[in-house]
């Protein structure tokens, strides 16, 4: 059975089982038709299949008459940023994010360096349905240019971001343990930290491209990393996923800082420098609202997904935004989740506050999130969601992305999966016990509906 999964951001699957050369050619060719003419930035994460996929993608683009700017192994945000800085017509990031070694993916970007909008995705689907593979004649094929300076430009521009004082940060002489899971972060995170004057302890920073553990940076996958941070007496631990768009922090005590706290502290820091709107997704912590309220600023929420958050940020001219998965979006550099930007903001925040990372965590509003899911088998998830809307019709509802209900003491977000017959239940409350109880209660409510 093929593993190929298609979404607004592109395609992903297991190499040799769905994510195959003919599929890569088909989708890349359609993307080239969508672009029309010009140049496309291509970059990949470090996984073993990346070179093979890159060769097929590049060859297909050239055969379609598209020029290629090849930036090699790099973070997905570097691909996004290079599209912007090189005024390219588009970009393809070859990365399956936090999926295991056997997976790979194509992430399609538009001319702004962002993931395609729903309208753009629809146009691409129309081209795919025609399945009309036409290629250029011999004297009209594209040209490939290697742009090896992309990583250094990204790093340099992060170092020179507004609100970031590199000399001040260097005086703190942070001791940082970084775990890059042998992914694209190996090529950029240690170098960035050293530029900030940090003493860097490298863990899982080999260039093998083989992930030594499950690559998603969840606490249960980071037990050895957390122990190492504490043993090394580091000021903090910095963990990134294979394509470096998510930033996960470990405190000086060797404990999770919390992915939701990553965006919360970034919002707190930026709003302390400039007042403005904030945009996050519907499943992101209410702590962001509390922080924004302190600065008399407003929070706007979007459907889950980077493209949706970016769309909302642009609509409301947000000065900072992101997602609770550790994704910080700072439009002063570019509209994309970027761990490099998150690192710069975190180090500046710690430097100016004089706090340890554990103390910074304690200074933030405290909330707890519980996540559950229920398999529906033969029941339509839309029917379940509609029944929930009916039941809670008197409450504060948002139906933009499933169903989000805001209560005074908690919130709950019901979301159906686009790939599986399941509904996800995300709840947040002031204590872990409350969050777990609420999510269990909602799980039982769905079971009743399904009977």
Helix or strand holding residue 30 (H, E): helix 21-35
Residues 280 and 176 in one domain: yes
Q: Phi and psi of 35, rounded to 5°?
A: -65, -40
Rg of the chain (C-alpha set)? 22
Q: Residue 3: what pLDDT?
A: 77
Same domain, 171 and 112: no
Number of domains observed in the structure of the chain = 3
Which residue, of 128, 148, 168, is where some domain finishes?
148
Catalytic residue of the set 97, 302, 370, 439: 97
Residues 129 and 275 in one domain: no
Are 215 and 325 in a shared domain?
Answer: yes
Low-confidence stretches of the chain (pLDDT beneath 50): none
Question: Phi, psi at residue 49, to the nearest 5°?
Answer: -75, -5
Q: Which residues contact 229 (CB under 8 A, 6 or more apart)?
A: 177, 236, 237, 250, 251, 252, 254
Shared domain check, 270 and 197: yes
Query: What does the pLDDT look like over 404-437, one tens digit per residue?
Result: 999 999 999 999 876 677 899 999 999 999 999 9
Per-residue pLDDT tens for 150-175?
Answer: 999 999 999 999 999 999 999 999 99
Whether the Cβ atoms of residue 282 and residue 401 lie closer than 8 Å to each other:
yes
Distance of CA 356 to the CA centre of its chain: 26
Domain's final residue, options 148, 165, 197: 148
Q: Which of 366, 399, 429 is the last residue of a domain?
A: 366
Say if residue 43 is in the same domain as residue 161: no
Same domain for 396 and 361, yes or no, is no
In which domain, by residue range, is 441 found? Answer: 368-450
Q: CA-CA distance, 303 to 283, in Å (whole number)?
A: 8
CATH of the domain at 88: 3.40.120.10
Tokens at 2, concatenated: 């093929």
Query: Which pLDDT score is estimated for 419?
Result: 63
CB atoms within 10 A of CB 152: 11
Residues 78 and 169 in one domain: no
Shared-domain flag, residues 295 and 279: yes
- Shared-domain flag, residues 103 and 158: no
Residues 95 and 192 occupy one common structural domain:
no
State the CATH number of the domain containing residue 409: 3.30.310.50
Report the C-alpha gap between 87 and 94 in whole angstroms. 20
Q: Are residues 321 and 407 in the same domain?
A: no
Residues in Cβ contact with 414 at an 8 Å cutoff, skipping those fewer than 6 apart: 384, 385, 388, 402, 403, 404, 423, 424, 425, 442, 446
Whether the pTM exceeds 0.75: the reply is yes
CA atoms within 13 A on the CB side of 425: 23
- Our answer to whether residue 97 is catalytic in this structure is yes
């Amino acid at each position: 059975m093929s593993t190929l999964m298609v979404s607004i951001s592109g395609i992903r699957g297991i190499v040799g089982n769905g994510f195959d050369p003919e599929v890569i050619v088909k989708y890349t060719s359609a993307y080239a038709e969508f672009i029309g003419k010009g140049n496309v930035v291509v970059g990949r994460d470090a996984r073993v299949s990346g070179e093979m996929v890159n060769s097929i993608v590049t060859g297909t683009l050239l055969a379609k008459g598209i020029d290629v700017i090849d930036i090699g192994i790099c973070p997905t945000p570097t691909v996004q940023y290079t599209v912007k800085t090189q005024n390219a017509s588009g970009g393809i990031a070859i990365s399956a994010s936090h999926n295991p070694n056997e997976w790979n993916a194509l992430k399609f970007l538009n001319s702004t360096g962002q993931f395609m909008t729903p309208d753009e995705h629809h146009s691409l689907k129309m081209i795919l349905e025609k399945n009309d593979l036409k290629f250029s004649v011999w004297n009209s094929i594209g040209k490939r240019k290697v742009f090896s300076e992309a990583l250094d430009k990204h790093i340099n521009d992060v170092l020179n971001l507004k609100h970031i004082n590199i000399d001040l940060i260097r005086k703190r002489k942070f001791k940082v343990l970084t775990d890059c899971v042998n992914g694209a972060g190996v090529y950029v995170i240690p170098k960035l930290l050293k530029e900030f004057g940090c003493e860097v302890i490298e863990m899982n920073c080999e260039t093998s491209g083989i992930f030594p553990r499950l690559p998603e940076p969840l606490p249960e996958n980071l037990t050895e990393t957390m122990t190492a941070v504490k043993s090394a007496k580091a000021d903090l631990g910095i963990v990134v996923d294979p394509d470096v768009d998510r930033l996960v922090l470990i405190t000086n005590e060797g404990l999770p800082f919390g992915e939701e706290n990553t965006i919360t502290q970034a919002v707190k820091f930026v709003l302390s420098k400039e007042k403005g709107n904030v945009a996050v997704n519907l499943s992101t912590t209410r702590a962001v609202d509390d922080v924004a309220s302190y600065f008399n600023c407003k929070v706007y929420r979007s459907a889950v997904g980077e493209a949706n958050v970016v769309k909302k940020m642009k609509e409301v001219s947000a000065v900072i935004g992101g997602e609770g998965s550790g994704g910080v979006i700072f439009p002063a550099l570019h509209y994309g989740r970027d761990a490099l930007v998150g690192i710069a903001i975190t180090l500046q925040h710690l430097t100016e506050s004089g706090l340890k990372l554990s103390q910074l965590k304690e200074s933030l509003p405290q909330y707890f999130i519980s996540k559950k899911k229920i398999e529906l088998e033969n029941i339509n998830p839309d029917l379940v969601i509609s029944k929930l809307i009916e039941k809670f019709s008197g409450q504060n509802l948002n139906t933009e992305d499933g169903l989000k209900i805001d209560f005074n003491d908690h919130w709950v977000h019901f979301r159906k999966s686009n790939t599986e017959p399941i509904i996800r239940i995300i709840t947040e409350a002031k204590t872990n016990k409350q969050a777990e109880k609420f999510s269990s209660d909602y799980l039982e409510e769905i079971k009743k509906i399904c009977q």
